[in-house]
């Protein structure tokens, strides 16, 4: 079921909801990264095969969510939108899984209301994201922000942006990323204002400081997943994060994947998320299945 969270004249936030009324267990809220949309989690969610409510939100300016007239796309605003979604759906406790930009928003959201989240999974994201990597991502997205004759033309650009991703994953991403205009051409479902202005270095520095400070208020079990070939998140940053987070922390490195692990290695990512999420349900401990145990990367840290 798709619904839009829209009140008090705020930007509408699109949410794909599965099993909120019919499944047991804590809801899992999945938050995508920059220039993606909720669909990017579909393969991973299917492969986790967890019988609990799943919520996939589109960040403002992305996918089916509304665009901000004032170009209010700061990380803190995305964090407030996470709480808006949970408030509107009357969800008191949830598990949060988030990638890249969404992961930074998740950090602020969880630090602001630590009692609201039972566990946090950060997918190739953290306070020390490479500035050079961010520039490369922004450049790639900027290059793709044009109109296309057909979906296949856009699909060809994805091969260059995601060289490690499976063909089927990129086929689905291409279809979900575009909207057809009245003249029959296609363009990205992304507000160009997200790329219009460069963030001043002073604001970037302040954001990084805020994110590092937020880690000390994260008291719930936290999983950090890094792509082995990621140019965005370094092993050194992951180690520093595990030392800063107040709660118990796992970290995993997934072979054969870059920054967008959900596209590059959905199977291994789903396996370790299944183990992590299943093990952090209220008043229960669920063992990892033999299949998950054989597929999941081993936890390289526990603190």
pLDDT at residue 10 is higher than 50: yes
Q: What is the pLDDT of residue 140?
A: 62
pLDDT at residue 193 is higher than 70: yes
CA distances from 281 to 119, 141, 223 (A): 9, 37, 15
Asked which of 1-10, 137-146, 190-199, 231-240 is least confident by mean pLDDT, the reply is 137-146
Burial 30-68 (b: 16+ CB within 10 A, else e): bbbbbbbbbbbbbbbbebbebebbbbbbbbbbbbbbbbb
On whether residue 168 sits in a domain, the answer given is no
Count of domains observed in the chain: 1
Mean pLDDT for the stretch of residues 74-79: 94
Give 148-159 pLDDT, tens digit per residue.
999 999 999 899
Q: What is the pLDDT of residue 198?
A: 60
Q: What is the pLDDT of residue 65?
A: 96
**CA-CA distance, 97 to 224, in Å (whole number)?**
10
Give 226-268 pLDDT, tens digit per residue.
999 998 899 999 999 999 999 999 999 999 999 999 999 999 9
On whether residue 97 sits in a domain, the answer given is yes
- The parent domain of residue 64 ranges over 2-130+191-302
Per the CB < 8 A criterion, the answer to whether 278 and 286 are in contact is yes
On whether residue 170 sits in a domain, the answer given is no
On whether residue 149 sits in a domain, the answer given is no
Mean pLDDT for the stretch of residues 54-67: 96
**CA-CA distance, 109 to 12, in Å (whole number)?**
18
On whether residue 24 sits in a domain, the answer given is yes
Higher pLDDT, 28 or 194: 28
Report the CATH number that the domain containing residue 207 is assigned in CATH. 3.40.50.1820
Give 272-300 pLDDT, tens digit per residue.
999 999 998 775 433 333 233 334 433 33
**CA-CA distance, 250 to 243, in Å (whole number)?**
11
On whether residue 152 sits in a domain, the answer given is no
Q: What is the pLDDT of residue 187?
A: 92
Percent of the chain past pLDDT 70, that is, above it, reads 85
Higher pLDDT, 204 or 44: 44
Give 175-192 pLDDT, tens digit per residue.
999 999 999 999 999 998
**Average pLDDT taken over every residue of the chain:** 87
Query: Using only C-alpha atoms, what is the Rg of the chain?
Result: 18
Mean pLDDT for the stretch of residues 112-126: 95
Mean pLDDT for the stretch of residues 186-205: 80
On whether residue 184 sits in a domain, the answer given is no
Dihedral pair phi/psi, residue 21, rounded to 5°: -95, -20
Angle at 54 between CA 12 and CA 24, to 5 degrees: 130
Q: What is the pLDDT of residue 133?
A: 58
Per the CB < 8 A criterion, the answer to whether 220 and 120 are in contact is yes
Q: What is the pLDDT of residue 135?
A: 59
């Amino acid at each position: 079921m798709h619904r839009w969270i829209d009140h008090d004249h705020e930007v509408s936030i699109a949410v794909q909801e599965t099993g909120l009324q019919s499944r047991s267990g804590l809801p899992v809220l999945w938050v995508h990264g920059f220039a993606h949309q909720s669909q990017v989690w579909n393969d991973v969610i299917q492969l986790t095969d967890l019988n609990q409510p799943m919520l996939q939100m589109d960040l403002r300016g992305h996918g089916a969510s509304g665009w901000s007239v004032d170009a209010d796309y700061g990380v803190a605003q995305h964090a407030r939108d996470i709480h808006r979604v949970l408030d509107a759906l009357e969800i008191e406790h949830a598990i949060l899984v988030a990638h890249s930009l969404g992961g930074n928003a998740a950090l602020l959201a969880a630090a602001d209301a630590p009692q609201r989240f039972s566990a946090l999974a950060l997918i190739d994201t953290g306070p020390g994201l490479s500035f050079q990597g961010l520039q490369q991502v922004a450049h790639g997205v900027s290059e793709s922000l044009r109109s296309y004759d057909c979906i296949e033309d856009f699909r060809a650009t994805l091969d260059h942006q995601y060289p490690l991703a499976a063909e089927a994953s990129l086929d689905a991403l291409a279809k979900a990323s575009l909207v057809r205009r009245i003249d029959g051409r296609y363009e990205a479902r992304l507000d160009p204002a997200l790329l219009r202005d460069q963030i001043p270095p002073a604001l970037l520095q302040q954001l990084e400081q805020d994110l590092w400070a937020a880690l000390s208020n994260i008291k719930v079990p936290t999983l950090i997943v890094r792509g082995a070939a990621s140019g965005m998140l370094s092993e050194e940053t992951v180690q520093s994060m595990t030392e800063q987070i107040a709660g118990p922390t796992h970290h995993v490195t997934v072979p054969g994947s870059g920054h967008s692990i959900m596209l590059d290695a959905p199977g291994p990512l789903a396996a370790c998320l299944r183990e992590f999420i299943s093990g952090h349900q209220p008043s229960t401990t669920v063992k990892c299945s033999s299949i998950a145990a054989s597929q999941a990367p081993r936890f390289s840290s526990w603190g």
